[in-house]
Structure formats: C-alpha cells, structure tokens
Amino acid sequence: MTTSRHPVVVSHDDPASFTTGLRSFFAYRDLGIRHVTGGKVGAHVIRAVPGEGPKPAWHTHDLTFQMVYVLKGWVRFEYEGAGEVLLKAGSSVYQPPGVRHREIAHSDDLELLEITLPGEFETAQAEEPGKGGKPSR
C-alpha cells in the first residue's frame, strides 16, 4: 500500500466561501483540490448569481478533462457537434478538450460541480461552429 503525499482536504458549504471568477453571472467555491494537487486537478462548485443571466458566447477551454454535474436547478448548453443540451439536477456532461460550446440559459438556483484537469486553464473566444474560420485565440 502506498502512502498519499497529499493531505486530506475537507470543504464545508459556507456562503462566504463563494467568490467571483471566470463569469460575472456565477459565484465560485474552490474545494481546495487544486492547491493540494499542485494545480493538476480543479474542483469547484459554481452557483448562479440570481437575476444575472448568461451572456452566450462561443468559447473553448485549454484542458484535458472537464466534467460538470448539476446539483440544483438547470442549465442549457450548446455544443459543437451535439447541439443544445439541457442539464438538470442529477445530470452530468463530459466536455471534450477544445470543444466549442456556450451556455444559453440557467435557472436562478443553479448549482453545479465542475472538475477539471488541470486545475487552472485558459479560456478562448471561438467562432460559432459552421460559420467558417477557426477559433480565435
């Protein structure tokens, strides 16, 4: 049996632990995984800011793994090659590396868990699929 080089990390729900992040219409709660894995893995809870709707924009993420699991409410995404997808509490989606996507709408009570590899990654605007051109970086 091998011994872990990482400490046990416990994160409790606390409204004060949510901060601003990538999108202004979401609040983010880092679960502490990124820090203990040296940035290899990210895990956070994302909560909708009530009254703030999404600003649909096609984009990509420079990462090797991204999974979203909806804890509460609903969210509608659009993915290159898959079209619109409605996720509700209990739904999950694996977003392949580099897939063009955008969020179209979400409920005011949306909460979701997102896990990424690596923990920090770049996001780039992208052209709408089918409109010619390649994603802009």
Give me the domains of the chain, ranges plus CATH numbers: 19-117 (2.60.120.10)
- Tokens 């995404």 belong to 77
Q: What is the spatial order of strands in the sheet that 92-94 belongs to?
A: 26-30, 42-48, 111-117, 65-72, 92-94
- By three-state DSSP, how is residue 15 classified? helix
pLDDT at 82: 93
Q: Mean pLDDT across the stretch 105-121?
A: 94
Q: Mean pLDDT across the stretch 55-80?
A: 95
Tell me the pLDDT tens digit for each residue of 35-63.
Answer: 889 999 999 999 998 887 877 889 999 99
